[in-house]
Amino acid sequence: MPGDGIGPEIMAQGKKVLEVIGKKFGHQFDTTEALIGGVAIDETGVPLPDETVKACKESDAVLLGAVGGPKWDTIDPSIRPEKGLLGIRKELSLFANLRPAALFPQLKDACFLRPDIVEKGIDVMVVRELTGGIYFGEPRGTKTENGERMGYNTMIYYEHEVKRIAKVAFEAARKRDKRLCSVDKANVLDVSRVWREIVTEVAADYPDVELSHMYVDNAAMQLVRDPSQFDVIVTGNLFGDILSDEAAVITGSIGMLPSASLGESNPGLYEPIHGSAPDIAGQDKANPLATILSIAMMLRYSFNLTEEAECIEVAVEKTLSQGLRTGDIMDEGGTLVGCTEMGAAVLQNI
Protein backbone atom coordinates (compact mmCIF):
# COMPACT_ATOMS: atom_id res chain seq x y z
CA MET A 1 0.00 0.00 0.00
CA PRO A 2 2.00 2.98 -1.25
CA GLY A 3 -0.45 5.52 0.16
CA ASP A 4 0.11 9.27 -0.12
CA GLY A 5 2.85 11.87 -0.53
CA ILE A 6 6.27 10.27 -0.87
CA GLY A 7 4.65 6.84 -0.35
CA PRO A 8 4.68 5.75 -4.01
CA GLU A 9 8.32 6.82 -4.50
CA ILE A 10 9.73 4.99 -1.50
CA MET A 11 7.54 1.97 -2.22
CA ALA A 12 8.89 1.75 -5.78
CA GLN A 13 12.41 1.42 -4.36
CA GLY A 14 11.23 -1.05 -1.75
CA LYS A 15 9.62 -3.29 -4.34
CA LYS A 16 12.84 -3.41 -6.35
CA VAL A 17 14.74 -4.46 -3.24
CA LEU A 18 12.27 -7.29 -2.64
CA GLU A 19 12.66 -8.44 -6.25
CA VAL A 20 16.44 -8.47 -6.08
CA ILE A 21 16.46 -10.27 -2.74
CA GLY A 22 14.12 -12.85 -4.27
CA LYS A 23 16.48 -13.37 -7.21
CA LYS A 24 19.56 -13.59 -5.03
CA PHE A 25 18.13 -16.08 -2.55
CA GLY A 26 15.74 -17.97 -4.82
CA HIS A 27 12.36 -16.80 -3.55
CA GLN A 28 9.39 -15.46 -5.40
CA PHE A 29 7.37 -12.78 -3.65
CA ASP A 30 3.87 -12.31 -5.04
CA THR A 31 2.70 -8.76 -4.47
CA THR A 32 -0.70 -7.10 -4.72
CA GLU A 33 -1.27 -3.37 -4.52
CA ALA A 34 -4.09 -1.81 -2.51
CA LEU A 35 -5.41 1.68 -1.74
CA ILE A 36 -5.21 3.37 1.64
CA GLY A 37 -5.35 6.93 2.97
CA GLY A 38 -5.91 10.00 0.81
CA VAL A 39 -5.61 8.21 -2.53
CA ALA A 40 -8.26 5.76 -1.35
CA ILE A 41 -10.54 8.66 -0.37
CA ASP A 42 -10.07 10.23 -3.79
CA GLU A 43 -10.83 7.00 -5.63
CA THR A 44 -13.44 5.35 -3.42
CA GLY A 45 -14.64 7.93 -0.90
CA VAL A 46 -13.19 6.12 2.14
CA PRO A 47 -9.63 5.85 3.55
CA LEU A 48 -9.79 2.07 4.00
CA PRO A 49 -11.88 0.34 1.32
CA ASP A 50 -13.17 -3.19 2.05
CA GLU A 51 -11.10 -4.57 -0.84
CA THR A 52 -7.98 -3.28 0.90
CA VAL A 53 -8.84 -5.02 4.16
CA LYS A 54 -9.55 -8.20 2.21
CA ALA A 55 -6.30 -7.99 0.25
CA CYS A 56 -4.35 -7.47 3.50
CA LYS A 57 -6.00 -10.38 5.25
CA GLU A 58 -5.25 -12.66 2.28
CA SER A 59 -1.56 -11.72 2.39
CA ASP A 60 1.32 -13.01 4.51
CA ALA A 61 2.61 -9.50 5.19
CA VAL A 62 1.64 -5.93 4.48
CA LEU A 63 3.98 -3.13 3.48
CA LEU A 64 2.82 0.46 3.82
CA GLY A 65 4.31 3.72 2.55
CA ALA A 66 2.63 6.63 4.32
CA VAL A 67 -0.77 8.28 4.57
CA GLY A 68 -2.09 11.82 4.78
CA GLY A 69 -1.43 15.27 3.38
CA PRO A 70 -2.76 18.83 3.41
CA LYS A 71 -5.22 18.01 0.64
CA TRP A 72 -7.29 15.97 3.10
CA ASP A 73 -6.76 18.09 6.21
CA THR A 74 -10.12 19.80 6.01
CA ILE A 75 -12.36 16.82 5.23
CA ASP A 76 -14.79 15.16 7.63
CA PRO A 77 -12.60 13.78 10.49
CA SER A 78 -14.35 10.41 10.34
CA ILE A 79 -12.83 9.74 6.90
CA ARG A 80 -9.40 11.36 7.31
CA PRO A 81 -6.50 9.42 5.71
CA GLU A 82 -5.16 8.57 9.20
CA LYS A 83 -8.37 6.62 9.82
CA GLY A 84 -7.17 4.23 7.12
CA LEU A 85 -4.01 3.47 9.04
CA LEU A 86 -5.74 3.19 12.40
CA GLY A 87 -8.41 1.04 10.74
CA ILE A 88 -6.03 -1.48 9.22
CA ARG A 89 -4.11 -1.80 12.50
CA LYS A 90 -7.37 -2.58 14.23
CA GLU A 91 -8.71 -4.87 11.47
CA LEU A 92 -5.54 -6.96 11.60
CA SER A 93 -5.35 -6.77 15.45
CA LEU A 94 -1.80 -5.47 15.26
CA PHE A 95 -1.40 -4.68 18.93
CA ALA A 96 2.39 -4.64 19.07
CA ASN A 97 4.32 -1.91 17.34
CA LEU A 98 8.10 -2.38 17.31
CA ARG A 99 10.02 0.80 16.60
CA PRO A 100 13.76 0.37 16.76
CA ALA A 101 15.75 3.61 16.91
CA ALA A 102 19.43 3.00 16.45
CA LEU A 103 22.19 5.37 15.49
CA PHE A 104 24.04 4.38 12.33
CA PRO A 105 27.72 5.09 13.04
CA GLN A 106 27.99 6.58 9.53
CA LEU A 107 25.39 9.19 10.50
CA LYS A 108 26.92 10.33 13.78
CA ASP A 109 27.31 13.84 12.42
CA ALA A 110 23.63 14.07 11.54
CA CYS A 111 22.73 13.35 15.16
CA PHE A 112 21.21 16.23 17.11
CA LEU A 113 22.76 15.34 20.46
CA ARG A 114 26.15 16.40 21.84
CA PRO A 115 29.02 14.15 20.72
CA ASP A 116 29.74 13.03 24.30
CA ILE A 117 26.16 11.78 24.60
CA VAL A 118 26.22 10.07 21.20
CA GLU A 119 29.53 8.43 22.09
CA LYS A 120 27.74 5.99 24.38
CA GLY A 121 25.55 4.89 21.49
CA ILE A 122 21.81 4.97 20.83
CA ASP A 123 20.03 1.66 20.40
CA VAL A 124 16.50 1.82 21.72
CA MET A 125 13.53 -0.33 20.82
CA VAL A 126 10.18 1.25 21.56
CA VAL A 127 7.42 -1.33 21.93
CA ARG A 128 4.20 0.62 21.57
CA GLU A 129 0.74 -0.77 22.28
CA LEU A 130 -1.14 -0.07 19.07
CA THR A 131 -4.79 -1.06 19.20
CA GLY A 132 -5.93 0.24 22.57
CA GLY A 133 -5.55 3.16 24.93
CA ILE A 134 -6.82 6.65 24.26
CA TYR A 135 -6.69 6.15 20.49
CA PHE A 136 -9.63 3.77 20.58
CA GLY A 137 -11.25 4.15 24.03
CA GLU A 138 -14.97 4.89 24.29
CA PRO A 139 -16.67 7.19 25.00
CA ARG A 140 -15.12 9.70 22.68
CA GLY A 141 -16.46 12.62 20.76
CA THR A 142 -17.21 16.29 20.60
CA LYS A 143 -20.30 18.11 21.74
CA THR A 144 -21.69 21.38 22.94
CA GLU A 145 -22.50 21.62 26.63
CA ASN A 146 -24.09 24.76 28.11
CA GLY A 147 -23.26 26.61 24.92
CA GLU A 148 -19.58 25.64 25.12
CA ARG A 149 -17.79 23.24 22.77
CA MET A 150 -15.96 20.32 24.33
CA GLY A 151 -14.04 17.26 23.17
CA TYR A 152 -13.21 14.07 25.07
CA ASN A 153 -11.41 10.75 24.74
CA THR A 154 -10.98 7.87 27.13
CA MET A 155 -7.79 6.05 28.02
CA ILE A 156 -8.61 2.44 28.81
CA TYR A 157 -6.36 -0.58 29.22
CA TYR A 158 -7.67 -4.04 29.90
CA GLU A 159 -5.55 -6.61 31.66
CA HIS A 160 -5.28 -8.83 28.57
CA GLU A 161 -4.07 -5.89 26.50
CA VAL A 162 -1.32 -4.97 28.96
CA LYS A 163 -0.30 -8.61 29.44
CA ARG A 164 0.16 -9.34 25.77
CA ILE A 165 2.14 -6.19 24.98
CA ALA A 166 4.28 -6.71 28.08
CA LYS A 167 5.08 -10.24 26.91
CA VAL A 168 6.15 -8.98 23.48
CA ALA A 169 8.38 -6.39 25.16
CA PHE A 170 9.96 -8.87 27.58
CA GLU A 171 10.63 -11.26 24.69
CA ALA A 172 12.22 -8.44 22.69
CA ALA A 173 14.38 -7.44 25.67
CA ARG A 174 15.44 -11.04 26.12
CA LYS A 175 16.87 -11.03 22.58
CA ARG A 176 18.67 -7.72 23.21
CA ASP A 177 20.35 -6.27 26.29
CA LYS A 178 17.73 -7.68 28.71
CA ARG A 179 16.63 -4.32 30.09
CA LEU A 180 13.00 -3.25 29.90
CA CYS A 181 11.66 0.14 30.96
CA SER A 182 7.88 0.44 31.25
CA VAL A 183 6.72 4.01 30.73
CA ASP A 184 3.47 5.31 32.21
CA LYS A 185 1.93 8.18 34.15
CA ALA A 186 1.06 6.22 37.28
CA ASN A 187 1.48 9.28 39.52
CA VAL A 188 -1.65 10.75 37.93
CA LEU A 189 -3.56 8.22 35.84
CA ASP A 190 -5.52 5.26 37.22
CA VAL A 191 -5.14 3.43 33.94
CA SER A 192 -1.37 3.71 34.39
CA ARG A 193 -1.48 2.22 37.89
CA VAL A 194 -3.20 -0.87 36.49
CA TRP A 195 -0.68 -0.93 33.63
CA ARG A 196 2.24 -0.85 36.06
CA GLU A 197 0.74 -3.54 38.29
CA ILE A 198 0.23 -5.93 35.37
CA VAL A 199 3.64 -5.33 33.78
CA THR A 200 5.21 -6.07 37.17
CA GLU A 201 3.28 -9.35 37.37
CA VAL A 202 4.36 -10.42 33.88
CA ALA A 203 7.98 -9.76 34.92
CA ALA A 204 7.84 -12.82 37.18
CA ASP A 205 8.06 -14.98 34.03
CA TYR A 206 11.18 -13.13 32.89
CA PRO A 207 13.65 -13.16 35.78
CA ASP A 208 16.53 -12.70 33.32
CA VAL A 209 15.16 -9.31 32.19
CA GLU A 210 15.70 -6.25 34.40
CA LEU A 211 12.44 -4.26 34.66
CA SER A 212 12.22 -0.60 35.57
CA HIS A 213 9.33 1.89 35.53
CA MET A 214 9.43 5.53 34.52
CA TYR A 215 6.92 8.35 34.27
CA VAL A 216 6.44 9.53 30.71
CA ASP A 217 7.55 13.11 31.31
CA ASN A 218 10.78 11.92 32.84
CA ALA A 219 11.24 9.37 30.04
CA ALA A 220 10.92 12.15 27.45
CA MET A 221 13.68 14.03 29.25
CA GLN A 222 15.94 11.02 29.83
CA LEU A 223 15.76 10.07 26.15
CA VAL A 224 17.60 13.23 25.15
CA ARG A 225 19.73 13.44 28.30
CA ASP A 226 21.15 9.92 28.09
CA PRO A 227 19.52 7.57 25.58
CA SER A 228 22.12 4.86 26.30
CA GLN A 229 20.28 4.05 29.55
CA PHE A 230 17.44 2.51 27.51
CA ASP A 231 17.30 -0.87 25.83
CA VAL A 232 13.60 -1.70 25.34
CA ILE A 233 10.81 0.71 26.27
CA VAL A 234 7.25 -0.59 26.57
CA THR A 235 4.39 1.88 26.71
CA GLY A 236 0.82 2.64 25.70
CA ASN A 237 -0.46 3.90 22.38
CA LEU A 238 -0.28 7.67 22.92
CA PHE A 239 2.94 7.80 24.95
CA GLY A 240 4.49 5.39 22.42
CA ASP A 241 3.46 7.61 19.53
CA ILE A 242 5.27 10.54 21.08
CA LEU A 243 8.33 8.77 22.49
CA SER A 244 8.97 6.81 19.29
CA ASP A 245 9.18 10.05 17.30
CA GLU A 246 11.56 11.43 19.90
CA ALA A 247 13.70 8.29 19.94
CA ALA A 248 13.79 8.36 16.15
CA VAL A 249 14.74 11.98 15.70
CA ILE A 250 17.60 11.94 18.17
CA THR A 251 19.32 9.35 15.97
CA GLY A 252 19.67 11.99 13.28
CA SER A 253 17.03 11.02 10.82
CA ILE A 254 13.52 9.91 11.12
CA GLY A 255 13.92 9.02 7.41
CA MET A 256 16.04 6.00 8.35
CA LEU A 257 13.81 4.10 10.70
CA PRO A 258 11.55 1.12 10.04
CA SER A 259 8.76 -0.37 12.10
CA ALA A 260 6.81 -3.58 12.46
CA SER A 261 3.26 -3.94 13.73
CA LEU A 262 2.44 -7.44 14.82
CA GLY A 263 -0.57 -9.34 16.08
CA GLU A 264 -1.12 -12.85 17.36
CA SER A 265 -1.34 -14.59 13.98
CA ASN A 266 -2.53 -12.08 11.40
CA PRO A 267 -0.17 -10.75 8.73
CA GLY A 268 2.27 -8.21 10.13
CA LEU A 269 2.34 -4.67 8.82
CA TYR A 270 5.63 -2.96 8.06
CA GLU A 271 6.10 0.74 7.49
CA PRO A 272 8.68 3.47 7.74
CA ILE A 273 8.00 5.53 10.83
CA HIS A 274 8.20 8.84 8.98
CA GLY A 275 5.11 10.34 7.40
CA SER A 276 4.06 11.23 3.88
CA ALA A 277 6.28 14.36 3.67
CA PRO A 278 3.97 16.22 1.28
CA ASP A 279 6.47 19.09 0.95
CA ILE A 280 8.91 16.92 -1.00
CA ALA A 281 6.45 14.48 -2.61
CA GLY A 282 6.97 13.74 -6.29
CA GLN A 283 10.42 15.37 -6.36
CA ASP A 284 12.59 12.27 -6.01
CA LYS A 285 14.05 13.66 -2.77
CA ALA A 286 12.69 11.20 -0.21
CA ASN A 287 14.89 8.80 1.74
CA PRO A 288 13.85 5.24 0.79
CA LEU A 289 16.02 3.60 3.48
CA ALA A 290 13.33 3.39 6.17
CA THR A 291 11.08 1.52 3.74
CA ILE A 292 13.93 -0.72 2.65
CA LEU A 293 14.76 -1.47 6.29
CA SER A 294 11.05 -2.15 6.92
CA ILE A 295 11.30 -4.86 4.26
CA ALA A 296 14.22 -6.33 6.21
CA MET A 297 11.99 -6.41 9.31
CA MET A 298 9.24 -8.02 7.24
CA LEU A 299 11.57 -10.76 6.02
CA ARG A 300 12.75 -11.37 9.58
CA TYR A 301 9.43 -11.35 11.45
CA SER A 302 6.86 -12.54 8.89
CA PHE A 303 8.94 -14.84 6.69
CA ASN A 304 11.67 -15.99 9.06
CA LEU A 305 14.28 -15.09 6.42
CA THR A 306 17.05 -13.86 8.71
CA GLU A 307 19.90 -14.10 6.24
CA GLU A 308 17.94 -12.15 3.65
CA ALA A 309 17.06 -9.47 6.23
CA GLU A 310 20.69 -9.13 7.24
CA CYS A 311 21.73 -8.87 3.61
CA ILE A 312 19.49 -5.81 3.22
CA GLU A 313 20.73 -4.22 6.43
CA VAL A 314 24.36 -4.71 5.45
CA ALA A 315 23.66 -3.26 1.99
CA VAL A 316 22.09 -0.17 3.59
CA GLU A 317 25.08 0.32 5.89
CA LYS A 318 27.44 -0.10 2.96
CA THR A 319 25.53 2.51 0.98
CA LEU A 320 25.87 4.93 3.88
CA SER A 321 29.58 4.14 4.17
CA GLN A 322 29.96 5.03 0.51
CA GLY A 323 28.83 8.52 1.48
CA LEU A 324 25.48 8.57 -0.29
CA ARG A 325 23.00 10.88 1.43
CA THR A 326 19.46 12.04 0.78
CA GLY A 327 18.66 15.57 1.94
CA ASP A 328 17.44 14.54 5.39
CA ILE A 329 20.78 12.92 6.33
CA MET A 330 23.10 15.16 4.32
CA ASP A 331 26.37 15.97 6.06
CA GLU A 332 29.73 17.50 5.22
CA GLY A 333 31.50 15.33 2.68
CA GLY A 334 28.35 13.40 1.79
CA THR A 335 27.13 12.99 -1.78
CA LEU A 336 23.58 14.26 -2.19
CA VAL A 337 21.38 11.78 -4.05
CA GLY A 338 17.68 11.37 -4.73
CA CYS A 339 15.32 8.58 -3.82
CA THR A 340 15.91 6.59 -7.02
CA GLU A 341 19.68 6.84 -6.85
CA MET A 342 19.74 5.83 -3.19
CA GLY A 343 17.55 2.83 -3.98
CA ALA A 344 19.76 1.86 -6.92
CA ALA A 345 22.86 1.97 -4.73
CA VAL A 346 21.27 -0.38 -2.20
CA LEU A 347 20.30 -2.79 -5.01
CA GLN A 348 23.87 -2.71 -6.25
CA ASN A 349 25.18 -3.45 -2.76
CA ILE A 350 22.76 -6.35 -2.31
Find the catalytic residue in 16, 135, 184, 270. Answer: 135
Q: Which is nearer to Mg ion, 161 or 241 (CB)?
A: 241
Check if 241 is active-site: yes
How many residues touch ligand IPM under the rule CB under 6 A: the total is 4
Find the catalytic residue in 185, 231, 270, 328. Answer: 185
Check if 205 is active-site: no
Q: Is 76 annotated as a binding residue?
A: yes
Q: Is 73 annotated as a binding residue?
A: yes
Check if 152 is active-site: no
Can residue 231 be called a binding residue for Mg ion (CB under 5 A)?
no
Q: Which is nearer to ligand IPM, 91 or 109 (CB)?
A: 91
Taking CA atoms, 280 is separated from 9, 30, 68, 273, in Å, by: 11, 30, 13, 16
φ, ψ for residue 14 (rounded to 5)?
Answer: -60, -45
The option from ligand IPM, Mg ion, none interacting with 129 (CB < 5 to 8 A, set by class) reads none
Can residue 241 be called a binding residue for ligand IPM (CB under 6 A)?
yes
- Max distance between CA atoms of the chain, in angstroms, equals 67
SS3 28: coil
How big is the chain, counted in residues?
A: 350
d(CA 234, CA 169): 6
Strand segments (E) across the chain: 61-63, 96-102, 123-129, 141-145, 148-152, 179-184, 210-215, 232-235, 258-262, 268-272, 324-325, 335-336
The option from ligand IPM, Mg ion, none interacting with 277 (CB < 5 to 8 A, set by class) reads none
Q: Is 81 annotated as a binding residue?
A: yes
Q: Is 10 annotated as a binding residue?
A: no
Q: Which is nearer to ligand IPM, 192 or 259 (CB)?
A: 259
Can residue 191 be called a binding residue for ligand IPM (CB under 6 A)?
no
The option from Mg ion, ligand IPM, none interacting with 86 (CB < 5 to 8 A, set by class) reads ligand IPM
| CA proximity to 29, closest of 263, 226, 295, 211 | 295
Can residue 85 be called a binding residue for ligand IPM (CB under 6 A)?
yes
* DSSP type of residue 267: P
Least distance in angstroms from the C-beta of 273 to ligand IPM: 6
| CA proximity to 199, closest of 173, 174, 225, 180 | 180
Check if 135 is active-site: yes
Can residue 82 be called a binding residue for ligand IPM (CB under 6 A)?
yes
Check if 184 is active-site: no
Catalytic residues: 135, 185, 217, 241, 245
